[in-house]
Structure 1
């Protein structure tokens, strides 16, 4: 199996972490978003949206969209379980996970930054303010949804909510978002990164990681 992704992509981070936690072997294929590799015809044939990640199974089946890929992974390799079976627990985990994936990430990704820059002439400070605004607003909501009594979002082991949180918090740190108001999120992030399988998925630990971007 092949996972096409970009080292700094938070969506790729989520999927790498899930595969690592479950002990699933996969080959990483770098798609350099900064260099525009996602617009190449060969990649667009795999994923017409030009997004990452793209997960290609051994039989050639192509899966796109990180949350759909994560759902497939959890259904196919159920141990450890990332999405609870209990309806109430499942709803709580998905609310947090989609709070990141649906509310924060879409307005904080590369394509939005390029439009702010190219179409609206946003300065570096304005782009940073944009990123910080939407992350702060979304993370403030998520902070209220988390348990205060568990090391991870809703229990003693990381689940889908935690994988979305730790990847988004990486982006928050990258954009210098003040995190003093998010103690639960900070605790969860530290606990996630203490898990070797998740730390191995961290952007800085990828073979295509770069020091200058």
Structure 2
């Protein structure tokens, strides 16, 4: 375990963020202190393949894991700077992720894919289609597939910490007649924080730059919280 710390190195400035629980591992990750250039999801995936050790766009569950780590370390004085940067960035522009949703026709589950364009994408099948609304317990399975936890209380707490507003899920409201592909992106304003799962994959958007760092030697899983 360590502390959140600002670092400047080789003309790049970033924060080192420990205690990030992601896909069964404790990580220390690095968050760039400026947004990455606008890229489509396909371009962002290609950029990762070309720059495996650089700051890159990541999938929605990784971003949520970073936000959750900051929320859990909220009493640390150095949390304020990365929190302010994320809050400002997410309110300025829609932020790109490497998460995509393929909405499938009636009687088939939709497919959520994380790591689009990377060497090891991973998928989950779940019903994403539904009303645009503030998240409820009915969205638990969908949230599990999208951000990595189905605990609605946790999702509300973490994203409210980031933006101080209710959390909404935007998606297709009815099943398409054929497969319909969309990207997941992040946005927020004074009225809400939005998990937007119905946007055009061809849109070029800025993103939070993340570099996966040190694997922490820890055994314990995070405590379950409401």
In the superposition, the TM-score normalised over structure 1's length comes to: 0.28
The structure in which a higher percent of residues are strand is 2
Return the structure number with greater helix share: 1
